[in-house]
């Protein structure tokens, strides 16, 4: 809305004109045939008009004139923002092999001033992606391009890459384009097992988990590099190997292999079947070992206490003995101190001189 106000007006007309100096309204009279322009308020002190469906051609300097002698004018500059069009991501070739590099280009046209493009991989923004801007044929709006280069791996499979257009005209409704990555890779293979200790007579289930793109074909189970030796007890259901009534002959290395058009991969599981009676008796030796270690620690502690006690007692006795020497026959305490061995006075008395 364009509003022109006058504090003091002596019944003088007000007029709004556009950047091309065409009169829009003269007081309450419409001068230009444009259905987008409407009168809001007209009085001696105010002339307000409203322009709807603004286009880039409406940008420029508008003039309000008060027809006094001389004519007084006030000007207002209308800046029109070019709203960027919805961005488009191009350059993705479906699918892409693991380890390959790829380029994605995000393009948005019609922005004024030029928009800024931001890239995201999942929820994490990718910074410092270069972009370029090109003016359109009329030089009023810009088309912005930004190219993202990625070296992809299996972790990128199924990840959404998006580009977002930042522009002051889109503060409340940002425009975003997305692309889900399709990355092909060799299967990853892992074996899950149903029990930690396999005992004779138990049932063991080994599950071969294979993930890859394209989806891996049916897994293949082998024992020690050959086909499964006992199909009656060794049954494969989907990707699970079930071995019933385990015995010592089942010991060995079991392989599961999975493949797709990208290649093959495998995992292995080493099976050792325990005798139930031997497995049950394992707790005895463990307790015996623990008990032996505790006994050794206690014995060493007692020996250290005894040696330390004797050492302290011996030094205390030596101190008392030296303290008492020379004082046994002293008639009083002062004499005993003087006569005590090691005192300065007694030392001086023992000096001998030879001529």
At 251-300, the pLDDT tens digits run 999 999 999 999 999 999 999 999 887 655 554 445 555 767 777 888 78
Pick the CATH number of 2-78 from 1.10.287.1770, 3.40.50.2000, 2.60.40.10, 3.20.20.10: 2.60.40.10
Distances, alpha carbon 83 to alpha carbons 87, 92, 170, 327, in Å:
12, 26, 7, 113
Q: What is the pTM of this model?
A: 0.64
Q: Considering the domain delimited by 88-181, tell me its CATH architecture.
A: Sandwich (2.60)
Predicted pLDDT of residue 349: 44
Return contacts of 41-48, CB within 8 angstroms, 24+ apart.
41/3, 42/14, 44/6, 44/9, 44/11, 44/12, 45/5, 45/6, 45/7, 45/9, 46/3, 46/4, 46/5, 46/6, 46/14, 47/3, 47/4, 47/14, 47/15, 47/16, 48/1, 48/2, 48/3, 48/4
Give pLDDT < 70 ranges for the chain.
278-289, 291, 315-355
The yes-or-no answer to whether 88-181 and 186-279 have a common fold is: yes
User: What class, spelled out in words, does domain 186-279 have in CATH?
Assistant: mainly beta
Residue listed under structure tokens 């790829």: 102
SS3 labels along 105-117: EEEEEEEECCCEE
DSSP 273-288: EEPHHHHHTTHHHHHH
Q: Is 148 exposed, middle or buried (0-12, 13-18, 19+ CB in 10 A)?
A: buried
Domain chopping of the chain, boundaries = 2-78, 88-181, 186-279, 311-341
Condensed to tens digits (0 to 9), the pLDDT of residues 41-81 reads 998 889 999 999 988 888 999 999 998 888 889 999 999 99
Query: Which residue, 243, 239, 220, is CA-closest to 230?
Result: 243
Angstrom distance (rounded) from CA 291 to CA 295:
6
């Amino acid at each position: 809305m364009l509003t022109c106000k006058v504090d003091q007006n002596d019944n003088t007309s007000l007029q709004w004109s556009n950047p091309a100096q065409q009169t829009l309204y003269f007081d309450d009279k419409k001068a230009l045939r444009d259905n987008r322009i409407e009168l809001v308020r007209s009085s001696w002190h105010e002339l307000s008009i409203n322009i709807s469906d603004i286009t880039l051609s409406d940008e420029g300097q508008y003039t309000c004139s008060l027809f006094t002698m001389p004519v007084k004018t006030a000007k207002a500059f209308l800046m029109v923002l070019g709203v960027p069009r919805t961005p488009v991501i191009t350059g993705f070739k479906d699918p892409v092999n693991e380890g390959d590099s790829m380029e994605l280009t995000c393009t948005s046209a019609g922005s004024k001033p030029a928009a800024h493009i931001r890239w995201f991989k999942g929820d994490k923004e990718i910074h410092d992606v270069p972009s370029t801007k090109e003016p359109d044929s009329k030089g009023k709006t810009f088309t912005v391009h930004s190219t993202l280069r990625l070296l992809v791996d299996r972790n990128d499979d199924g990840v959404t890459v998006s580009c977002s257009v930042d522009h002051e005209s889109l503060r409340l409704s940002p425009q975003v384009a997305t692309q889900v990555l399709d990355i092909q890779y060799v299967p990853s293979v892992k074996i899950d097992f149903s029990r930690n200790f396999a005992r004779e007579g138990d049932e063991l289930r080994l599950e071969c988990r294979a993930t890859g793109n394209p989806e891996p074909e049916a897994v293949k189970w082998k024992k020690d590099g050959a086909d499964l030796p006992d199909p009656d007890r060794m049954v494969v259901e989907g990707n699970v190997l079930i071995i019933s009534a385990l015995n010592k002959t089942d010991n060995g290395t079991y392989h599961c292999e999975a493949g797709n058009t990208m290649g093959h991969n495998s995992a292995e599981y080493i099976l050792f079947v325990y005798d139930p009676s031997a497995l049950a008796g394992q707790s005895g030796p463990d307790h015996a070992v623990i008990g032996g270690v505790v006994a050794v620690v206690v014995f060493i502690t007692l020996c250290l206490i005894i040696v330390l006690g004797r050492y302290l007692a011996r030094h205390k006795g030596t101190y008392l003995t030296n303290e008492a020497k020379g004082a046994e026959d002293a008639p009083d305490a002062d004499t005993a101190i003087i006569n005590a061995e090691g005192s300065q006075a007694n030392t001086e008395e023992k000096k001998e001189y030879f001529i």
